């Protein structure tokens, strides 16, 4: 069965709707543009106000600074004599305090090495110091050995100092005797009754970063025990064992 043909349908064209949409879009863009310009004008006014405020503060600070400089110069001229006298007295006091401290340390040192003792005869590591000199990688060292026990006996023997550290991430060590500047002198032997001081220069190997020093003291005197001490490099460089 065939369905009957309904014929053509006529739809009315309404152009006003298209124009209404176009006008709406234009109005929307215009509104956004107007709002954007208003916001920009607001931000510009705010920045100008902040700039004027900062300029005013800078000008005020400059004026205060000039006044303070003039006031300080005036006061400095009046109190210069008093200031110089105070500085001189302060430096003198510090110098006397340092001298007293050095004397106390020396007194304690000599009391420790000459006072009679009933303890067993022994060799002690009094101090080991390292200082960097002006030349690159050049260092100076100072080793002080003391004796405890019977003060009328001498002690003899040898010592060895190892510098332990890293080179390019690899751990290694050097004998101080091998890096000394004066390698001819046999200064690793000790022979003393109260104390003995060893001093010299050495060159730190290039790229070597030490982190500790190990000191071996091997007495040849009978009944005197050997001694081994390990000192961190920061302690060695601070001259405080």
Query: What digits encode the pLDDT tens for the residues 174-199?
Result: 999 999 987 766 678 999 888 899 99
| CB distance 129 to 161 below 8 Å | no
What is the pLDDT confidence band of residue 141, given thresholds at 50, 70 and 90? very high
> Residue 6: CA atoms inside 13 Å, Cβ hemisphere, count?
3
Least confident range of 7-21, 39-53, 177-191: 7-21
**pLDDT value at position 61?**
72
| Torsion region of 207: left, alpha or beta (phi above 0 gives left; psi -120 to 50 gives alpha) | left
**Separation of alpha carbons 237 and 110, rounded Å:** 24
**pLDDT value at position 209?**
93
In sequence order, what are the residues at sequence separation of 6 or more whose Cβ sits closer than 8 angstroms to the Cβ of residue 236?
Answer: 128, 129, 130, 213
**Separation of alpha carbons 123 and 224, rounded Å:** 7
**pLDDT value at position 240?**
44
Report in angstroms the alpha-carbon separations of 204 from 84, 137, 189, 238.
45, 5, 22, 17
C-alpha distance across the termini of the chain, in Å: 119
| pLDDT over 70 at 7, yes or no | no
pTM for this model (two decimals):
0.53
- Assign a CATH topology to domain 119-237: Immunoglobulin-like (2.60.40)
Mean pLDDT of the chain: 76
Q: What is the β-pairing status of strands 195-203 and 189-192?
A: unpaired
Q: Structural domain boundaries of the chain? A: 15-115, 119-237
Give me the mean pLDDT over the 170-175 stretch: 93
In sequence order, what are the residues at sequence separation of 6 or more whose Cβ sits closer than 8 angstroms to the Cβ of residue 83?
Answer: 76
> Residue 138: CA atoms inside 13 Å, Cβ hemisphere, count?
8
């Amino acid at each position: 069965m065939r369905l009957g043909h309904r014929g053509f349908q006529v739809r009315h064209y309404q152009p006003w709707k298209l124009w209404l949409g176009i006008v709406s879009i234009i109005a929307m863009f215009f509104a956004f543009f107007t709002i954007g310009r208003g916001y920009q004008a607001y931000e510009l006014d705010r920045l100008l106000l902040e700039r004027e405020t900062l300029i005013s503060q800078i000008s005020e600070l400059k004026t205060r600074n000039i006044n303070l400089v003039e006031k300080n110069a005036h006061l400095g001229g009046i109190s210069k004599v008093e200031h110089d006298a105070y500085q001189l007295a302060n430096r003198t006091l510090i110098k006397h305090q340092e001298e007293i401290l050095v004397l106390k340390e020396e007194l304690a040192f000599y009391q420790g090495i000459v006072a009679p003792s009933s303890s067993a005869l022994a060799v002690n590591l009094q101090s080991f110091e390292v200082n960097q000199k002006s030349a690159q990688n050049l260092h100076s060292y100072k080793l002080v050995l003391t004796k405890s026990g019977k003060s009328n006996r001498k002690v003899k023997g040898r010592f060895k100092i190892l510098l332990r550290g890293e080179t390019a991430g690899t751990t290694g060590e050097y004998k101080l005797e091998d890096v000394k500047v004066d390698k001819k002198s046999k200064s690793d032997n000790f022979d003393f009754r109260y104390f003995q001081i060893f001093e010299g220069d050495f060159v730190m190997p290039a790229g070597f970063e030490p982190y500790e020093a190990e000191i071996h003291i091997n007495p040849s005197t009978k009944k005197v025990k050997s001694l081994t001490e390990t000192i961190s490099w920061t302690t060695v460089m601070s001259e405080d064992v």
